[in-house]
Amino acid sequence: MGAGASLQSLRGKVVSVDELDPKRHNQSKAKSLFWIGSCKRDLLEMPEAVRSEVGYALYLAQIGYKHAAAKPLKGFGSAGILEVVEDFDGEAYRAIYTVRFSNAVYVLHCFQKKSTRGIAMPKPDAELIQIRLTAAEQHSRGKRNDQG
């Protein structure tokens, strides 16, 4: 499928950068994007190539699609919490976000993985994601809470 493919034909599919022409969709239907805690600042500290790929994944989530590199985050019980892992210069960077809510996409955590235990999520990061997910749930329901 080339860049000229319609969004209608891509509905429900994993999308790569080459398959989407961002000029052909209606941005007014895009979900809002909310950054929980220090996520935006943390992402901005990452290398430009990582920021670009994560940014594109979030953009796709806002318009109802899934980036080819986005995978469900294990240990959180649903496919509504996604993880994008980007490798850059021998380092692994992660961005965790949720599409669980109909009104918005929430970025829960952005970090450089430094664990020495393989691909497992470090416990402090998993705990922070859970706290921020609770804050996102409250925000989505209209209850403000400045956690994380």
Angle at 93 between CA 92 and CA 98, to 5 degrees: 135
Which tops the pLDDT comparison, 31 or 20? 31
Q: Which of 6-10, 16-20, 65-69, 119-123 has the lowest mean pLDDT?
A: 6-10
The answer to pTM > 0.85 is no
Above 50 in pLDDT, residue 5?
Answer: no
| Contact partners, residue 7, CB within 8 Å, separation at least 6 | 20, 24, 25, 63, 65
Q: Is 27 left (phi over 0), alpha (psi -120 to 50) or beta?
A: alpha
User: Per residue in 54-86, pLDDT tens?
Assistant: 999 999 999 989 999 999 998 877 779 999 999
